[in-house]
Structures are given as C-alpha cells and as structure tokens.
Chains A and B, each alone.
Chain A
Amino acid sequence: SQQGEEDPQALSIQEGENATMNCSYKTSINNLQWYRQNSGRGLVHLILIRSNEREKHSGRLRVTLDTSKKSSSLLITASRAADTASYFCATAVSNDYKLSFGAGTTVTVRA
C-alpha cells in the first residue's frame, strides 16, 4: 500500500518561478527518495535523503525532511519548461530496499 501522500496533486507555474511540492508519510523511514517521470516513461532518480538528514541540495533541487512531522518537501528553483513532469516521493521503511510511493505531483512549467 502507498505510504506517501503528496500535495498538491498538480502545479502550474511560469518559467523562472519556483515549484514546491510536499510529501507526507505514515511510519518511520530509513530514507526518502524523490523521482521525476516524464510522460509515463521511466523514473529518473533525483535525490535520496536519509532519516538523520534534514536538507540536501542537487543543482536547482532542494529537499528537506522533517521526521517529527513525517514530511518532506522538494523545491525546484528557477523552473524550466524541461521540468514539466510528474514528481514522486518514495519511502524505504527498512533495509529491505522496498519503496512505497506517493501519489505524485504533476508539474507544468509554462513558457
């Protein structure tokens, strides 16, 4: 069953603006991973953040994790048309590597 819930379900922004999406989960986790999916294709791994970490950066991406609130956020700064995609969070509860995915946020970046 899906552990994560994401909001918003959909997001439309202007090119150059920032996009923020949130992920909440129900049980304690080992790590949380963010993925991007373009038009129903394969998933591209963006960032992994561990339960003992609070923030990570990768290029224009910033991920935060608040284990007390069981939530994470993904910020995309200075968005581009190529950022148009669905974004999923996925949690690993234990060391068996299984991922439980959130429902995803669909981001549309308008030129």
Chain B
Amino acid sequence: SAVISQKPSRDICQRGTSLTIQCQVDSQVTMMFWYRQQPGQSLTLIATANQGSEATYESGFVIDKFPISRPNLTFSTLTVSNMSPEDSSIYLCSVEREGPGGWDTQYFGPGTRLTVL
C-alpha cells in the first residue's frame, strides 16, 4: 500500500480567495492524480500530474482554476483559485502503486474538505 498525507485536512475559505492543497507520498511515484468529490456525489478526476511535465486536465477543468505543481516524485500541490461556494468539495489525491491486486492499484489520500462561504 501507500502512505499518503494531505494538508490541510479541512478549511473554510472566503469567496474569491485561493487555497493550495498539498499531497505527500511516502515513496516515489510516477503519476499522481487529483479528484474532486462534491457534497453527496461520487469522485471526478480533475487532472493527472506527472513530474517534469504539465498536468493533464480532464474535460471541464482548466489550469487557471486548478493549477497543479509536481516538483518531485513524492509531492504535488493543487490550488483552487478564485473560489466560489460551488467549489466546496472534498479534494483527494491518489497514486498508483503495486498492491495485492497488482501493479496498478490506486491508493487515495485522506482528502481535504473545503468549504467556501
């Protein structure tokens, strides 16, 4: 399995501000993923972050709103910019690692619960 930590665990922010979420993994991984889970909903992939290259964003998500950094193989940040109440969600990072099911098991961090007022 993988040990993944996220900071902050939760935050309450004002409309129009930005929040940067950190994701730290206990060992090197090639790809890291960022997901959003809106209240009462399932998870939606925001982007894939590879070290040394630009993040790849899914349809409906743009770099200006969700800039991502990946400075090394164990760390990534996601910034939620110019926030509105609609951005209130749980944001989760994940990595793929070898697990009981095989080399492509995907593990998730504990999530960051964001509330925008």
Chain A residues within CB distance 8 Å of chain B: 1-2, 30-31, 33, 35, 40-45, 47-50, 56, 58, 88, 90, 92, 95-104
A44 CB to closest chain B CB (Å) equals 8
Q: Which of B43-51, B66-74, B75-83 contacts A (4 or more CB under 8 A)?
A: B43-51
Quick check: is B11 within 8 A (CB to CB) of the other chain?
no
CB A30 to nearest CB in B, in angstroms, measures: 8
7 extra interface residue pairs, beta carbon distance < 8 Å, beyond A48-B104, A92-B106 = A40-B37, A40-B113, A48-B99, A56-B101, A98-B45, A99-B43, A99-B45
A102 partner residues in chain B, CB cutoff 8 A: 42
A100 to B42, CA, bound (A): 10
Knowing A40-B113, A45-B1, say if A33 contacts B44 (CB, 8 Å). Answer: no
- Chain B, Cβ-Cβ closest to A106: B40
Q: State in angstroms the CA–CA spacing of A35 and B35 once bound together.
A: 14
- Asked whether, in the complex, the Cβ of A97 is within 8 Å of the Cβ of B42, the reply is no
Give the 4 A-B residue pairs with the shortest CB-CB distance, closest first. A48-B101, A42-B110, A43-B108, A101-B42
CA distance A2 to B22 in the complex (A): 26
The residues of B that contact A42 with a CB separation of less than 8 Å are 4, 92, 108-111
In B1-39, the 8 Å CB interface with A consists of 1, 4, 31, 33, 37
Chain B proximity of A76: nearest CB distance (Å): 17
